[in-house]
Chain A
Amino acid sequence: NAGVTQTPKFQVLKTGQSMTLQCAQDMNHEYMSWYRQDPGMGLRLIHYSVGAGITDQGEVPNGYNVSRSTTEDFPLRLLSAAPSQTSVYFCASSRRGGGRNNYGYTFGSGTRLTVV
């Protein structure tokens, strides 16, 4: 049972380059999200999706794009990398639910991105 798989684990980019962080889950979860983790700031929501074909912005969406063409995959695209995007990125997925049926997210192991 793979859970949430993120690739790559490490990446170094030059300012202005673009790239895609991959995320795949094999649990048939409807919800998927991308977070970035920075020291002293916890995790902040970048984008999220409640199902295939549906995405929305989180707290810090600028400079990032997402799409959700299938239930399994939720790639995060950096359009033109900037040093401020140096961070650890986590993808997460969850079953649909809220209130008493809030199942909580399962997280991937993260991608450590450095922009120079």
Chain B
Amino acid sequence: AQSVTQLDSHVSVSEGTPVLLRCNYSSSYSPSLFWYVQHPNKGLQLLLKYTSAATLVKGINGFEAEFKKSETSFHLTKPSAHMSDAAEYFCVVSTTGNQFYFGTGTSLTVIP
């Protein structure tokens, strides 16, 4: 069985301050983990992925995430928030490659 828990449904940060979006996962096998972003009324865009290689993964737009097996976590970070980062973020777990399991999402608000 696989699942993800996104620990915060809403996060607000000021522009220029760090972003932390938290994700814990549960998986019976070695998982692949992903972060997707969804801007209002848009589709989903892949930010970054972890697939059993380096545990610190860098993605697009300055985002990165660290896979921590001992903590079963895959938190998403960015050093300095930009207004364009305001969106919904989804953490995703997969083991087979054809079935993805989504978290319930974290809505990020960036305050000018």
Report B28-85 residues with CB < 8 Å from chain A CB.
Answer: 30, 32, 34, 36, 42-46, 49, 51-53
Q: Provided the pairs A100-B51, A104-B34, A110-B43 are in contact, do residues A42 and B98 lie with their beta carbons within 8 angstroms?
A: no
Describe B's contact surface by its main secondary structure. Answer: loop
- From A17-25, A65-73, A75-83, A91-99, give the one contacting chain B: A91-99
What residues of A have a CB within 8 angstroms of the CB of B103 in the complex? 42
A109 within 8 Å of B by Cβ? yes
What residues of B have a CB within 8 angstroms of the CB of A103 in the complex? 97
* A101 CB contact (under 8 Å) in B9, B95, B97, B99: B97
What residues of A have a CB within 8 angstroms of the CB of B90 in the complex? 42-43
Which of the listed residues B44, B52, B104 has the most CB atoms from chain A within 10 Å of its own CB?
B44
Interface residues on A, range: 20 to 34
For the complex, what is the distance from the CA of A42 to the CA of B91, rounded to whole Å? 9
Interface residues on B, range: 20 to 34
Whether the Cβ atoms of A42 and B105 lie closer than 8 Å is yes
For the complex, what is the distance from the CA of A31 to the CA of B99, rounded to whole Å? 9
Q: Provided the pairs A40-B104, A42-B104, A45-B99 are in contact, do residues A99 and B51 lie with their beta carbons within 8 angstroms?
A: yes
Q: How far is the CB of B98 from chain A (nearest CB, A)?
A: 5
A107 within 8 Å of B by Cβ? yes
> 1/0 contact trace for A32-59 toward B, CB 8 Å?
0101000011111100101000000010
Whether the Cβ atoms of B44 and A99 lie closer than 8 Å is no
B94 within 8 Å of A by Cβ? yes
Whether the Cβ atoms of A107 and B44 lie closer than 8 Å is yes
Chain A residues engaging chain B, CB cutoff 8 angstroms: 31, 33, 35, 40-45, 48, 50, 58, 90, 92, 94, 96-110
Could you list 7 examples of A-B contacts with CB < 8 Å? A50-B98, A58-B99, A97-B97, A98-B96, A107-B36, A109-B42, A109-B43
Chain B residues engaging chain A, CB cutoff 8 angstroms: 9, 30, 32, 34, 36, 42-46, 49, 51-53, 90, 94-105
A100-B52, A109-B43 known; 8 other A-B pairs, CB under 8 Å? A31-B97, A44-B102, A99-B30, A99-B51, A100-B51, A101-B51, A102-B49, A104-B46
